[in-house]
Amino acid sequence: GGSITARHNRKMIALLFVFLSLASALDNVVVDKTLAVPTITVLGTPNVTRYLSSNHRASLNFACKISKITVSPNFESISAGFSDPLTQVELEDHLGEPESVEWAHVMQTPFGSTDPRGQERQLSTLGGDLGEFLTVLSAIEKQLGVTFNDTLVLHKLKVYLTVMSRDKFYFDIDIDAVNHFKSVCNCPQLNIADPPESKKALLLNATNSYLSQGNEFFKKLLNNSEAFQIRPELVSSVIRAFYKVMWNKADPLHRRIKFILMRGPLSPKGFILVKTPGYCNSQLLAPMISPELCAKQMGIYHGDAAILLRTEISGILLMKNPESKNDVVKKANEISSSSLAALLADHKEPIYTVNFEALNDK
């Protein structure tokens, strides 16, 4: 009975993807077969795939040939008083040569946030996967003139988690935010990934405070919503939906969650904007980069790859009215651009553009 149901579910997912413009990712759908996966991961273990040879990566079709990597400063001078900034030479050394780049399939890889406290090579965007989900929902609201309440947001999140091509869905938190949750419920031993049932309502209410957010994007959205083009009530609904899914251990969808605990103080020394050639984007490939180098923290934003993620999310959430998808993606891109500017408005670290340049014959 269980195997028949599983086969039926896989067929349904395959049929749903026919309606998506990014259906080429279907052949690489990863199904979570693990029965018990920890719902919170503490960073510290190196990314084992970073040591794969380029030949091995190419055999997996996870390689896009480029001619060179160009680093361009987006500033004329370092902010006065800013100590130990990331230099262009340090960044170039960290990125290495074109043949050493580790490429990821965008439709198979969770997107981390722009938080610079990570250690593994990753794809990064505002708020991670949850941030992009929020951005697309906001675009749908604006473009279609609808308003999502808690019930609809939770339903949309469950639909996306069921159909999405990647195996895991990313969000993060830090120690300060966890401690805030502990103080709210007077639970010094609280595991925020799996709290007692009696405390869940209290903790859900606490998510309305920016103090409960370790993710910079969501923290700023809750603390200064005027600077962003996203309805604050929608922000809270998305956060609550995330925790409801993660806490419901009776629902297999909770295994899709990748909840990362960021440790240590936040002290970014640089921020980079990643650009990739069109033919890499058309192959759904993006370069993975570690935010940690020379004991310095570096925020990363994969703008081109994030557009691909928004396209997939939009396609799934708009299966009943696919004719609106292109306009929603365009609106989501606009919201994301203004959100990035708002996020970086008070940053003092130097910002660089990293361009993975096309081959001369492309």
Tens-place pLDDT, residues 280-303: 999 999 999 999 887 899 999 999
Q: What is the pLDDT of residue 229?
A: 87
Q: Over range 42-70, report the average pLDDT.
A: 53
* Band of residue 311 on the pLDDT scale cut at 50, 70, 90: very high
> pLDDT by residue (tens digit) across 152-209?
999 999 999 999 999 999 999 999 999 999 999 999 999 999 999 999 999 999 999 9
pLDDT > 90: percent of the chain: 73
Q: At what angle do helices 150-163 and 128-144 cross, to 10 degrees?
A: 120
> pLDDT by residue (tens digit) across 267-283?
999 999 999 999 999 99
**CA-CA distance, 257 to 171, in Å (whole number)?**
8
Write the DSSP assignment of 229-270 as a string of letters: SS-HHHHHHHHHHHHHHHH-TTSGGGGGEEEEEE-S---EEE
> pLDDT by residue (tens digit) across 3-41?
444 444 444 443 344 333 333 332 333 222 222 223 333
Average pLDDT value over all residues in the chain: 84
Write the DSSP assignment of 270-319 as a string of letters: EEEEEE--HHHHHTTEEEEB-SEETTEEEEEEEHHHHHHHHHHHHHHHTT
Residues 242/270, Cβ–Cβ less than 8 Å: no
99 Cβ partners below 8 Å, 6+ apart? 54
265: alpha, beta or left, given left = phi > 0 and alpha = psi -120 to 50? beta
> pLDDT by residue (tens digit) across 237-262?
999 999 999 999 999 999 999 999 99
**CA-CA distance, 343 to 221, in Å (whole number)?**
9
Q: What is the pLDDT of residue 1?
A: 53
